[in-house]
Amino acid sequence: MLDKIKELTQTIEAFSIDSKEQLEQFRLEYLSKKGKITSMFDGFDFKTVAPEIKKSMGQEMNKLKVLAQTKFEEIQEKLNAGGADNNTHQKIDTSLPSIPNELGGRHPISVVREQIYTVFERMGFSLSDGPEIEDDFHNFTALNFPENHPAREMQDTFFIERNPDIVLRTHTSSVQVRVMENQKPPIRTISPGRVYRNEAISARAHCMFHQIEGLYVDKNVSFADLKNTLYHFSKEMFGKDTQIRFRPSFFPFTEPSAEMDISCFICNGKGCNICKQSGWVEIGGAGMLDPNVLTNCNIDPKVYSGFAFGMGIERITMLKYQIKDLRLFTENDVRFLRQFKHAE
């Protein structure tokens, strides 16, 4: 019997297995119910063995079984790791550098919002935030939009509820109302955020976009302060040779009101496609706070004055990176987004 065990041990060790078929053959021959090892166990009568060698014989038989089982498992694992039945024994080289996972980047709107905010932060402006679903008072009434006045039509509003009206904010000026209600002057704050207007989506318009608005309220704030703040901002943001100009305009919450243009930083004011040969590009609205707005927010307009301005972040991003279609910002196309991976 011991000879038989020895013989089987040798054949098991010598059995060469290079494929899954051979492995299966091995299993059938040695490990299956009708295999050689099992039949040897079954066909052996322990009573016929002398008691002094019974123990060692049992041990030898077990050893044989473990040997076959371990060989089977090891080779099975190797073959599976090597992929298909291609007879390759793959080795893993642990000293190879790993393949790096591709990291995402920030969205261009976030990049530019931060650039804008950083300039104002250095001038002492704080950051303020407010709800995107807003009541009529904060989006319109406090900002001097009279009831049923056509000025409310200027901003194609999405209404969530009527009477009393709840709207998707049409501008982040609503955040400035909230700041003025809750803080005492001097106030210097910047409110970036998402805003909504019921406009058909095209290369130049969207029903959802981002604004960044600024507010400064203190004693003796003048239009000269407004001009200087925006002049400094434009130079920091678009380059030190940038010029600005103001054109008269109308907003219910500012008086006087203006649209602000900067000299085209692509052609340096000479005229190009981006500025439609005019040398100037519009970047936002601005003006001195209407005294009614201060009163609505419990600030005495006889003591305090202030200015406000607002810009579209998409517009500035489009100018800065010469992006021709506004829809690209919301399509999440990685071919577009990847180009801003290293923008700061």
Of 158-187, binders to ligand PHE (CB under 6 A) are 171, 173
Is residue 310 within the footprint of ligand PHE (CB under 6 A)? yes
Q: Is 285 among the residues that bind ligand PHE (CB under 6 A)?
A: yes
Residue choice 26, 209, 309, 340 for contact with ligand PHE (CB under 6 A): 309
Q: Give the span between the Cα atoms of 113 and 116, in whole angstroms.
A: 5
Query: Of 217, 26, 15, 232, which Cα lies nearest the Cα of 120?
Result: 232
Give the CA dihedral 152, 156, 160, 165, nearest 10 degrees: 0
Nearer residue to ligand PHE within complex by CB, 36 or 169: 169
Among 192, 193, 252, 287, binds ligand PHE (CB under 6 A): 287
Omega before 164 within 30 of 0, i.e. cis: yes
CB of 273 to ligand PHE, least distance (A): 25
Place of tokens 């011991």: 2
CB of 201 to ligand PHE, least distance (A): 18
Q: Which is nearer to ligand PHE, 128 or 254 (by Cβ)?
A: 254
CB 180 within 8 A of CB 294: yes
**Nearest distance, CB of residue 216 and ligand PHE, angstroms:** 11
**285 — phi, psi (to 5°)?**
-110, 160
Neighbours of 300 (CB within 10 A): 10
Distances (CA, A) of 332 to 18, 23, 106, 144, 328: 49, 50, 12, 38, 7
Nearer to ligand PHE, 254 or 296 (CB): 254
Q: Which residues lie closer than 8 Å to 9 by C-beta, 6 or more apart?
A: 63, 64, 67
Interacting residue with ligand PHE among 286, 288, 297, 326 (CB under 6 A): 286
* Selected range binding ligand PHE among 34-42, 121-129, 306-314, 326-334, rule: CB under 6 A: 306-314
Residue 85 structure tokens: 């039945």
Judged by beta carbon, residue 31 or residue 151, the one nearer ligand PHE is 151
Under the binding rule (CB under 6 A), the answer on residue 193 touching ligand PHE is no
Which is nearer to ligand PHE, 172 or 242 (by Cβ)? 172
Q: Which residue has the tokens 């496609």?
A: 273
Q: Candidates 75-83, 263-271, 302-310, 317-325 — which segment interacts with ligand PHE by CB under 6 A?
A: 302-310
- Tell me if 213 contacts ligand PHE by CB under 6 A: yes
Q: Applying CB under 6 A, which residues contact ligand PHE?
A: 171, 173, 213, 251, 254, 285-287, 308-310
